[in-house]
Structure 1
Amino acid sequence: MKFQLYLIYVYTILIVSCKGNSQDKTPPAPQKEIQPKEVISKDGFKRAYFASGCFWCVEAIYENTKGVKEAISGYSGGHTKNPTYESSNTGRTGHAEAVEVIYNPKIISFEKLIDIYFATQNPTQVNGQGPDHGSQYRSIIFYQNKEQKDIIDQKKTALSKKINRKIAAEILPFQKFWIAEDYHQDYEKKHPYNRYILNVSVPRLKKLQNKFPDLVKKRH
């Protein structure tokens, strides 16, 4: 009798458990789409944000582009506050080394900045550029509004068709840019004979000079 009661008990538990599991299969509510944050123009200058390998390289490329007032190295695209070079290099913050480009839209357009972006990197390399590997070196183009996103989408699709390869760059809504440590700023300019600068940054800068000679600032 006790054994029969035990079987009834176990059977009841199994039925209740199965019902509970079936309820757990309800699909989760869709996550709210992250909306981009737009940076307000100041004194006629706009800001654009790019990640493509080491920020020393990207900063040097845009610093030498006509119409760009300044390029600043930093971090973006992650989920932590106040990222540092050390923390971002762990790959656990989600941040990539990025650059803030402050430009005059009357001299150079956002579209042309995108052209320069793709032309000065290996667009098919995933999670890095050249010798730099890891999610902190991945390629990202950040958009601040629908117009920018449409431009990026069109450029990326056109390039993919042209080379018949998948383009690695992510397209993400801009949220926040964190300025990097002082010693990272203007690194190519301050350390022209650094081995990394000579072997990695300079070749990327030469791509700008070769492909867009009319857009290169005269260096003093």
Structure 2
Amino acid sequence: MTTTFILAGGCFWCLDAAYRALDGVTDVVSGYIGGDVANPSYEAVCTGRTGHAEAVAVTFDPETIPADVILDAFFTMHDPRQLNRQGADVGTQYRSAMFPLDAEQEQLFSAARERAEDIWGGGVVTTTEPASEFFPAEEYHQDFFAKNPGQGYCLAVAVPKVNKVRARFAEYVRA
């Protein structure tokens, strides 16, 4: 049985690439959540006016990779102390947020946020928001890093995040 978490932590290309490196992750879908516009486009979300966050729906097998590892990796691959931004990506669409699908996930997310407070020395601004409808992003955003390994943003921003997750969670990295 698999589990799906919906998480937002900056550009979804980075989260997608880092999660795909982990054994037990069976699917990653980049998309949009938390806004008030049906079927938003990437261009609309980038304006910051739809209320959506760029997010990933990461599906994993908890028998292979524990839920806590998925969540701790989330807090490793982005800086949860940056409000409505990640580096040069600025706007509410790049916010750090978790979207629980049930009460159990809400408890897991709360515990992970507390661990992140300890790891980052406080100041975590990650929100837990009600899970509204998740809209998959356009096809060209899916598995973007693998399709565009030489793209400048991927090299400058995604690669260091993927490497950080690979180093911290080496025992869960795909062979």
Counterpart check, 1:186 vs 2:143: yes
Letter of the aligned partner of 1:68 in structure 2?
V
Which residue in the other structure is 2:64 paired with? 107
Q: Deviations over 1:57-111 (max 9, x none)?
A: 0001111111011111110111111011011111111001011112112112222
Q: Is the 8 A contact 2:26 2:59 kept in 1?
A: yes
**Structure 2 residue corresponding to 1:197, chosen from 120, 135, 154:** 154
Letter of the aligned partner of 2:22 in structure 1?
T
Give distance in 2, aligned partners of 1:201 and 1:163.
20
Greater relative contact order (CA < 8 Å, ≥ 6 in sequence): 2
Counterpart check, 1:61 vs 2:8: no
Give distance in 1, aligned partners of 2:142 and 2:81.
27
TM-score, with length taken from structure 1: 0.76
Q: Is the 8 A contact 2:76 2:165 kept in 1?
A: yes
Deviation at 1:162, TM superposition (A): 4.5
Which residue in the other structure is 1:70 paired with? 27
Q: Which 10-residue stretch deviates more, 154-163 or 209-218?
A: 154-163
Q: Deviations over 1:129-148 (max 9, x none)?
A: 12211101111111112221
Deviation at 1:155, TM superposition (A): 2.0
Counterpart check, 1:209 vs 2:162: no
Letter of the aligned partner of 1:152 in structure 2?
F
Aligned residue pairs, count:
175
Q: Deviations over 1:14-62 (max 9, x none)?
A: xxxxxxxxxxxxxxxxxxxxxxxxxxxxxx2221111111110000111
Which residue in the other structure is 1:31 paired with? none
Structure 2: state its 5+ residue gaps. none
Q: Is the 8 A contact 2:7 2:56 kept in 1?
A: yes
Letter of the aligned partner of 2:51 in structure 1?
G
RMSD: 1.2
Letter of the aligned partner of 1:134 in structure 2?
G
Which residue in the other structure is 1:30 paired with? none
Structure 2 CA distance for partners of 1:137 and 1:163, relative to 1, 3 Å: closer
Q: Is the 8 A contact 2:85 2:91 kept in 1?
A: yes
Give distance in 2, aligned partners of 1:161 and 1:126.
18
Letter of the aligned partner of 2:111 in structure 1?
Q
Which residue in the other structure is 2:132 paired with? 175
Structure 2 CA distance for partners of 1:72 and 1:119, relative to 1, 3 Å: same
TM-score, with length taken from structure 2: 0.95
Give distance in 1, aligned partners of 2:120 and 2:134.
31
Give distance in 2, aligned partners of 1:194 and 1:95.
25
Q: Is the 8 A contact 2:21 2:166 kept in 1?
A: no
Secondary structure of the structure 2 residue equivalent to 1:192: coil
Q: Which 10-residue stretch deviates more, 49-58 or 147-156?
A: 147-156
Deviation at 1:205, TM superposition (A): 0.3
Structure showing greater Rg:
1
